[in-house]
Amino acid sequence: MIEDSPVTETPDADLVRAAVAGDEAALDALAARWWPTMRRWALLETGDLATAEDVAQDAMIKLVHSLSSVDVSRPFEAWVRAIVRNTARDRWRRLRRVLPFLPPPPPPDLDREIDLDRAGRRAREAFASLSPRQREILDLCELQGIAPKDAAEQLGIAPGTARALLHQARAALRAHVADLASLLGDG
């Protein structure tokens, strides 16, 4: 049983080994640790909150049932991500079989696809232009939804510094991608 350290400090590989050995606390810790990320990934895959919840739940069930097949020498995150992605794709395939009368998606607008590709590259360049600290605070606050005060604590910096870094990161991104709205138009 894993009790000697806080759950957040126990490596995934140790939790997996313990869960496979029957430690329910380790299994609960893995589920608690990965649930928010799995929900976020499912939402990215599906684009719909209700469907994402279903996909995340199905993916969590698959994760629990297949823990014994995890290669703990490889990144656990990639394995979890693959489960979520495959669960979302399986759901879409099942839906297509059940609802064959759904119209096919419209043909792609190649000009729009090129613009979106260009915009994606520009956004990645903008993100890469930030300092590592700015990227870190932006990820914590904007992508993970953590308050700047809590992000500051995680990073070991003053709350004012975290707010300043977040402001600088947002301003730098805005400046770098200011003309993207005109590039993408109304869509």
pLDDT greater than 60 at residue 1 = no
Q: Find, among 123, 118, 124, 126, the residue nearest to 168 by Cα.
A: 126
Q: Which CATH number fits domain 7-98: 1.10.1740.10, 3.40.50.300, 3.40.630.30, 3.90.1150.10?
A: 1.10.1740.10
Q: Which of 19-23, 89-93, 120-124 has the lowest mean pLDDT?
A: 120-124
| pLDDT band at residue 187 using 50, 70 and 90 as cut-offs | very low
User: Which of 46-55, 90-99, 175-184 has the lowest average pLDDT?
Assistant: 175-184
The pLDDT, as a whole number, for residue 18 is 94
Percent over 70 (pLDDT), the chain: 84
Q: What is the pLDDT of residue 154?
A: 87
- Mean of per-residue pLDDT scores for the chain: 84
If one looks up domain 110-184 in CATH, what number appears?
1.10.10.10
Domain boundaries, the chain: 7-98, 110-184
SS in 3 state form for the chain?
CCCCCCHHHCCHHHHHHHHHCCCHHHHHHHHHHHHHHHHHHHHHHHCCHHHHHHHHHHHHHHHHHCHHHCCCCCCHHHHHHHHHHHHHHHHHHHHHHHCCCCCCCCCCCHHHHHHHHHHHHHHHHHHHHCCHHHHHHHHHHHHCCCCHHHHHHHHCCCHHHHHHHHHHHHHHHHHHCCCHHHHHCCC
Give the confidence band of 169 by pLDDT, cuts at 50, 70, 90: very high
pLDDT tens-place string over residues 104-136? 666 667 777 787 778 778 877 888 888 888 988
Q: State yes or no: pLDDT of 143 exceeds 80.
A: yes
Tens-place pLDDT, residues 33-86: 999 999 988 888 877 788 889 999 999 999 999 999 999 898 898 899 999 999
**Residue 95 above 90 pLDDT?**
no
What is the reported pLDDT for 136? 86
